[in-house]
Chain A
Amino acid sequence: MKTIVFVERNPVTGKMRDVSVEMTFKAHTLMKPLNGQVVAVYVGESLPQQHENLFKYGADKLVTALHPELKQFQAMPYKRVLENIVKAENPDIVLFGATHYGRELAPLISSSLNTGLTADCTQLYIDNYKDKGKILFQARPAFGGNILATIITPDHRPMMATVREGVMLLPEDNKAVNNPIRMDNVPFEFKKEWIRSKVLSVIPKAEKVNLGGANIIIAGGAGVGSRDNFNMLRSLAEQLGGEVAASRAAVDFGFIEKDRMVGQTGQVVRPKLYIACGISGSVQHRAGMEESKKILAINTDPDAPIFKIAHMGIVGDVKEILPIMLKCLKEEA
């Protein structure tokens, strides 16, 4: 079996996107028992920084297609180049990051190859299916996050999927794969007519607060009550060495900036400890934090859904609980 992983570069930082490595390692764990191969494919102008990590986490080969006209992502020319590589490699599986570029490009390719594409997957595994032998099982949230659907593509090849960023885990450094570096640059003739649109301007967004790396996250919701009250969360974060985050309701009320929002439309985090203060625990919020190692919920409502996924809980008013926590912390220190 062979899996292709489409590698993406963050156009602002020049670094490889996290999801590219995450998928590579996932593909490695799927392919290894079958003696399969993982081929990373990169299309662009120049290689992203840190692309060596692809080999560290299990790529057997990196195929590149480089051209100055491919500096800025555009779906049409990228599709032309990638489609030819996929045809030449003839893989069983093709994975894309469920990024905006990935979700624009993957359906174009699946349509051209007339095969199935599963969107925004959070779990992938290989298993036997009827008389089809081993196929890819792809689980994905749908219905606004209310259900988890497992989708298969039994009769068409390649089996294609886009994969959500931040969900597939990387191993500890000492468990890395460390494959030898093997690169293969494919020559191709670039056709001007592939480019149909003109990119008039590109405006980088203000750098996103990266909550992904925090060990402890103290998140506040509507129940925190005010922008001022969020200062208690900030003090707690300072004392514990963590980051402050929020639910959408807290952002909508203007308690805190949007770049700290966790959830389906915000960031996906999995810290060692997630303290949810005055957050009810909607599906959309849970989509961004339920993989946290430990969850502590503080809420006045003992029936709040957040308690159903929490490992520790306090029923009470955040405005009373947090000051006591801060006081105890000072005394413990």
Chain B
Amino acid sequence: MRKVVVLAKQVPDTANIAADAMKEDGTVNRGALPAIFNPEDLNALEMALQVKEQLGCEVHVITMGPNTATAVLKHSLYLGADKVWLVSDRKFAGADTLATSQVLAKAIQHVGDVSMVFAGRQAIDGDTAQVGPQVANLLDFNLVAFATELKSVSAEHITVARDAEVQTEVIQAPFPVLITVSHEANSPRYPNATRMLKYFRDDIAIPTLDRETLNIPEELCGLKGSPTKVFAIKNIQLTGGAHQMYEGANDGIRALVRDIVKDYTEV
């Protein structure tokens, strides 16, 4: 059976950051943020499931992360994934996008005989949108980034629309191909109740791939395999304070309007 892979990442919910999510020193307190399924990876999975419905194929979901990332895999099973893989090893920690792509590419090769890979456009924590293209490069797969619509899929190729800012491009891509999927592409389905009952149990076996199984040299993964380093992180702080308030009544506003006209218009 044809195999397709979805790359899914567990991320802190950065879209709903509350005040206590920031530590005193300006760094992010990951502990205070709920861990969620990276939103656009749900769109990637949805596209894979639609391909499955049209073409018939096996949908594999791969996540690289700590044990807690199995939450993402279980959710994928509820939604309709056939097989899931946790890629986890202490040595994978601290990876930048290049080192992440090394590991994910090896995991996809481990699944074997894959014709399509769907990734999210971007993860909401690292925000780089680089992992998908880098995985495609390592696998020597064809690449289409920023897909906004699944048009059709056949035995040889997939056709998608993609957002190129000033224009929309409809691209027919022969396999093997990696597609990065944007949130505009679809509305992810809800979990299936029967599947939830089946996969909810804590003890369902999720296969784990570590560095040795994947046969990745230490110097290519994790911190060691990462050319980029985070030199500093600062909380984006609002400067505040130094603004001039005007009365919300006639005189205040008149003074304000005078200032505006004087300073910003050529009258």
Contacts and interface: CB of A to CB of B under 8 A. Distances in A.
A99 B132 CA distance: 16
Contact of A333 (B131, B238, B246, B267): B267
A116 B142 contact: no
Main DSSP-derived SS at the A contact region: mixed
B170 A114 contact: no
Interface stretch (A27-35, A85-93, A148-156): A148-156
Contacts of B163: 100
B145 A199 contact: no
30 contacts: A10-B166, A11-B164, A73-B164, A75-B143, A100-B165, A103-B129, A104-B133, A107-B131, A111-B98, A116-B227, A117-B128, A119-B97, A129-B231, A143-B12, A143-B125, A144-B15, A145-B236, A149-B230, A152-B229, A153-B227, A155-B227, A196-B174, A197-B142, A204-B167, A312-B245, A312-B246, A312-B256, A315-B248, A325-B257, A328-B258
Contacts of B215: none
Contacts of A317: 248
B111 interface: no
Interface residues of A, number: 87
A251 to B, nearest CB: 15
Nearest to A74: B171
Contacts of B261: 240, 329, 332
Contact of B253 (A208, A307, A321): A321
Nearest to A333: B267
A272 interface: yes
A216 interface: yes
Given A11-B166, A149-B230, A197-B171, A308 B126 contact: no
Contacts of A311: 242-244
Interface centre among B128, B163, B254 (most CB of A within 10 A): B128
- Lowest 10 A-B CB distances belong to which pairs? A316-B248, A116-B227, A144-B14, A308-B238, A119-B128, A116-B228, A308-B240, A107-B133, A111-B137, A156-B227
B66 interface: no
Contacts of B190: none
A203 B228 contact: no
A320 interface: yes
B173 A196 contact: yes
Contacts of B134: 107-108, 110-111
Interface in A191-245: 196-205, 208, 215-216, 240-241
Given A108-B133, A143-B14, A321 B229 contact: no
Contact of A196 (B14, B142, B263): B142
A151 B145 contact: no
A116 B245 contact: no
A73 B167 CA distance: 12
A100 B145 CA distance: 8
Interface centre among A99, A140, A197, A208 (most CB of B within 10 A): A197
B143 A76 contact: yes
B17 A144 contact: yes
Given A329-B257, A332-B261, A208 B238 contact: no
Interface centre among A13, A216, A308 (most CB of B within 10 A): A308
B235 A201 contact: no
A152 B228 CA distance: 6
Contact of B167 (A11, A76, A144, A153): A11
A101 interface: yes
Interface string B118-154: 0000001111111111101110001111100000000
Contact of B144 (A197, A296, A316, A320): A197
A186 interface: no
B243 A312 contact: yes
Interface residues of B, number: 83
Contacts of B124: 143-144
Contacts of B236: 141, 145-148, 283
B254 A328 contact: yes
Contacts of B169: 72, 199, 201-203
A183 interface: no
A12 B165 CA distance: 10
Given A100-B163, A153-B228, A203 B253 contact: no
Given A11-B164, A154-B229, A313-B246, A197 B172 contact: yes
Contacts of B98: 110-111, 114-117
A96 B159 CA distance: 27
Contact of A120 (B127, B137, B267): B127
A75 B179 CA distance: 12
A112 interface: yes
A99 B243 contact: no
Interface centre among B227, B241, B260 (most CB of A within 10 A): B227
Contacts of B192: none
B178 to A, nearest CB: 11
B174 A117 contact: no
Interface centre among B17, B233, B238, B252 (most CB of A within 10 A): B238
A52 B96 CA distance: 37
A181 interface: no
Contact of B228 (A118, A120, A240): A118
B219 to A, nearest CB: 11
Contact of A308 (B129, B235, B239): B239
Given A144-B17, A203-B168, A205-B166, A305 B137 contact: no
B265 interface: yes
A324 interface: yes
